[in-house]
A = this chain, B = another copy of it.
Amino acid sequence: MLLKDGIPFMQTGAIRVRYSETDKMGVVHNANYLSWFELARTELCRNFGKPYKGWEIQGYYLPVIEAHCNYKYPATYDDVVLLFCRVPVEQIKPHSVLFEYRAMLDPDRLLAEGWTKHAFVNAESKIYRKNNLFQKWLLEEAEKFYAN
Contacts and interface: CB of A to CB of B under 8 A. Distances in A.
Interface stretch (A59-67, A87-95, A101-109, A131-139): A59-67
Given A52-B78, A70-B66, A19 B34 contact: no
Interface string A61-88: 1011111111100101110000000000
Interface residues on A, range: 35 or more
Contacts of A70: 65-66
Given A31-B35, A32-B31, A68-B67, A23 B22 contact: yes
A144 interface: no
A22 to B, nearest CB: 4
A51 interface: yes
Contacts of A30: 34, 63-64, 67, 116
Contacts of A76: 24
Contact of A61 (B25, B31, B52): B25
30 contacts: A13-B16, A16-B42, A18-B35, A19-B23, A19-B24, A19-B29, A19-B38, A20-B29, A20-B38, A22-B23, A23-B23, A24-B24, A25-B61, A27-B63, A30-B63, A31-B34, A42-B78, A52-B78, A56-B77, A63-B74, A64-B71, A65-B70, A65-B71, A66-B68, A66-B69, A66-B70, A67-B67, A67-B68, A67-B71, A74-B125
